[in-house]
Structure 1
Amino acid sequence: MSNIIFTIIILSSIGTPIAGFVILLLLNFFDQEFDYLQLENKQMRMEKEMQRMEYLQLSQQIHPHFLFNSLNAMLSLGRLGRTKEVVEAMEEFSQFLRYNYTDKEPLVPFSYELEHTNHYIAIQQLRFGSKLSVSYQIDVTAVKTTLPPYILQSFVENAFKHGLENKPGDKILMIELKREGSWVQLAVKDNGPNESITQNWNQGIGLANIRKRLKLIFDLRTSVMINRTDGMTVVTAEWPYTPGGESI
């Protein structure tokens, strides 16, 4: 009996330090693991903040171009002595500014974007009168989607800048939104004469800007393309359907 007790005492005296050492190792491991997780979370927060800052910077690149184009349109009306149209254009422009300088989420309802862009279109409509024809084809299954701010605006702005501004005679602008499964496609078409528009767009910040903004927002497939077909310039953007917007 005494031998058994002695053996237990010996084993305990040997095992206790080993167990303590193992516990210390485990505690050190968990401490390191916790530190690693903290570091990983910190890096994720930093990456997210950098993406947010980059996204805001990309969004702000568009604003000055739109402002200058709107002002130029109103100046053209003024030079022609069309005072009434200038006043109407100023009213539309003030509504545009109100939207342009309010804080927005990374995704906004399509209906908001369309209403905002229509203020710019209204200025151009006053400028060109009956020469400008604008049509809309909006898929009811896609209308409640959300999208990054100013994408529609940028497409319409460049339709005038690269095409319709220099188009003699009738000017056609078409805005289409449709849904294909889990994706939404936005297309802006114009009958401007500039055959080199694809080169102008691709060399500038326009398409690269929008591609990058879509990529920063969505983890799924997105695309931005431009081509000429049947005498029309067609610019399209595609992104995952993200409901949350309002009906038009």
Structure 2
Amino acid sequence: MQTTMPLAEPINQRPGWNYFDRVYCISLKDRADRRRQARRQFDAVGLNGRVTFVEVEKHPRNSEQGIYESHQRCIARGLAQGAGTILIFEDDVRFDGFTRQRLDQCIAFLASTADWQAFFFGCLVRRSHRTQNPAVLAVTYRALTHAYALSRPMATRIVTKPWQGAPYDAMLASFNRGFFAAYPAFAFQSDSASDNTRQLRLDRFRRRCGGLMRIQKANQWICRYRRLLIAVHVLGMAVIAGLALYFR
């Protein structure tokens, strides 16, 4: 017997990016070039008119502290305006593989998951596993904060954490409960030169490895298929050991 499927909700009536109460993008005041590039990226994914640029001065002594406090500034502003959900970008964000359907799947997950704390549209993770939504993974977060959202409870916790010498993403990883990510990721950190003067060696290393987009995609694949990779390696070692014994 054929089952009648419910009519799909018209795409222009779905929440999309409007699910987020406040949307910010962090940018150094003297990087107008980055803001122009970011606006083009936002226009391409339907965020035009939604993003508030938070222009900050470069920290005089410690760029990592400056990054940390810039994220907290966005969060504090969102909380003060009563936001229940806050979406934050950095001005070197780059979108690749974005579709409205994939965004809608991510938003549907957030809308139906009361206890989510942080959601990443692209990041580096230590581990991941499936959820009931094919476009979302539960993750153990590792690094990168160029495109992520916070629930109000998590935002309230983060905004009260003073700078203690650890980078912002390291502090964020210390929570790691209720963290989820888009799968496949569609927001990446571009290969433009980093403004974080304390991480220039790491920045050069990432470039030699093909850039952060390639690294993010490789990290996503490895974490997603970790068990398969381990099984293949174990099987390969067993075959080698068996052949060694056979030809002794």
- TM-score w.r.t. structure 1 length? 0.28
Q: Name the structure with the higher helix share.
A: 1
- TM-score w.r.t. structure 2 length? 0.28
Higher relative contact order (CA 8 A, sep 6+): 2
